[in-house]
Amino acid sequence: MPRPVDRYLPEITAALLVGVPGAISVPLYFSRGVVTWAFAVIWGLATLASVALLPAVERSGIDWKLELRYLFVISAAIAVFSIATGIGNNATDEPFTMGPYLGVLLRGQDPYTTSVWVSYSVHTLNLYSEHVSGPFHYVYLPLLLFFQVPGTGAVGYKSLCLACWVGIVYLLRKDRIAAIILVSPVVALVAANGFTDLPVLLLMTYSLRGAGPAVPKKAAEYATYAMKQFANAFWLIYYILRRDALQAALVVVLTLLFAAPFLLWHPTGIWCEALTFSESPGCSSALNSSRQLSDLYSHWNYYLWILWLYALFRTQVHRWAGKALAWIRPSPAAVAPST
């Protein structure tokens, strides 16, 4: 019979995942006066810490499927509250720009070369905000533009991303470890902020773990080739590791085919903004050319990809980690001299 404190360990852990980074964020805001990259690191680490829900659920003594429902309700409530109030929200410009980018395209202009002026207030889990405004160019692949409900604005886009999180948890509901890790309230908050990764991760999860015919799952996979570059990198590495050269080549070919209309329209637009990230010659004047190495850790949503990869491929991750540790620190039997 579990102790009362063990029974509520999942709920306590969920509260800590939000409360601890929130408690760190507020004094940081007061000391710095602005929202900095440190917020992304704090909340990114909290996202990775979502794996702590697993031992908490195992120790609680309650059936994991029932606990999954409890955690889902808690996380969904936090996410809806964040969208409704703005607290812990607006950590990215994406829900404010996706609609205008689509509008630019529908007016016959190239979103990779036509700037959109965006103005919004960042909150990021504190009660005070910093106003952000400036011009932006679209930097993702074309199909992502159409994964939205036109006319619903930022709130509509955030709600759509939250629905994608619900879909991911539903698809993984029979996988105890993956479902519990990704039902985390911090993951729900990433979705509530309207990060464009959520629609892509939903389609990728469906293509890898969805039930039913193979054709729609393959179509979902192909769609992700034209949405966000992390997906393209994932599929390319995925097929290389599986030694499937044909599928790996197909990732590259389909990516270029999806980009072809924009390459023909304004070659340097999509080439600089979405395909080479402004690193190729002639792209130094691109609007979004100031990308740095720090981008790898200063974006909250990047940490979600790491968590998702672990949730779906943890067996392989553990195998690789074991091999790496064995290589770094071989067992005594392996290094003992022969007699």
Q: Residue 164: name the closest of 79, 240, 45 by CA.
A: 79
In this model, does residue 320 exceed pLDDT 90? no
170: tokens are 């539903």
Is the pLDDT at 139 greater than 70? The verdict is yes
Distance between CA atoms of residues 56 and 42, nearest Å: 21
Altogether, the residues listed in the chain come to a count of 339
pLDDT computed for residue 1 by the predictor: 56
pLDDT > 70 fraction of the chain, expressed in percent and rounded = 85
In b/e form, how buried is each residue of 232-256, taking b as 16+ CB within 10 angstroms? Answer: bebbbebbeeeeeeeebebbeebbe
What three-state secondary structure class fits 108?
Answer: coil
Comparing 37-46, 70-79, 319-328, which segment has the lowest mean pLDDT?
319-328
Of 304, 96, 335, 83, nearest in space to 205 by CA: 304
122: enclosing H helix or E strand:
strand 116-122
CA distance linking residue 332 with residue 202, whole number of Å: 45
Q: Please state, in angstroms and as integers, the Cα–Cα distance from residue 27 to each residue in 6, 123, 214, following that order.
A: 31, 14, 50
If one counts every other C-beta atom within 10 angstroms of the C-beta of residue 83, the result is 22
- Per residue in 180-220, pLDDT (tens digit) is 999 999 999 999 999 999 999 999 999 999 999 999 999 99
Q: How many C-beta neighbours within 10 Å does residue 208 have?
A: 15
**Measured distance CA(244)–CA(217) in Å, rounded:** 18
CA 311 to chain centre: 13
pLDDT, residue 63, reads 95
pLDDT per position as a tens digit, 112-131: 999 898 888 776 554 556 77
pTM here is 0.91
How far apart are the C-alpha atoms of 289 and 277, rounded to whole Å? 7
Q: In this predicted structure, what is the pLDDT of residue 79?
A: 97
Q: How far is 122 from 289, CA to CA, in rounded Å?
A: 22
pLDDT at 32: 62
Question: Does the pLDDT of residue 253 top 90, yes or no?
Answer: yes
Higher pLDDT, 66 or 23: 66
Cβ 79 vs Cβ 165: under 8 Å: yes
Per-residue model confidence (pLDDT) at position 292: 60
- Do residues 209 and 197 touch, judged by C-beta distance below 8 A? no
Least confident of 31-35, 156-160, 275-279: 31-35
Average confidence (pLDDT) over 2-24: 88
Q: In this model, does residue 159 exceed pLDDT 80?
A: yes
Q: What does the pLDDT look like over 20-37, one tens digit per residue? A: 998 887 777 667 655 566
Please state, in angstroms and rounded to a whole number, the distance separating the CA atoms of residues 162 and 183: 12
pLDDT-based confidence at residue 263 (cuts at 50, 70, 90) = very high
Confidence band of 289 (pLDDT split at 50, 70, 90): very low
Average pLDDT over residues 310-337: 77
- Average pLDDT over every residue of 72-81: 98
pLDDT in tens, 161-172: 999 999 999 999
Q: Which two tokens stand for residue 140?
A: 């993702």
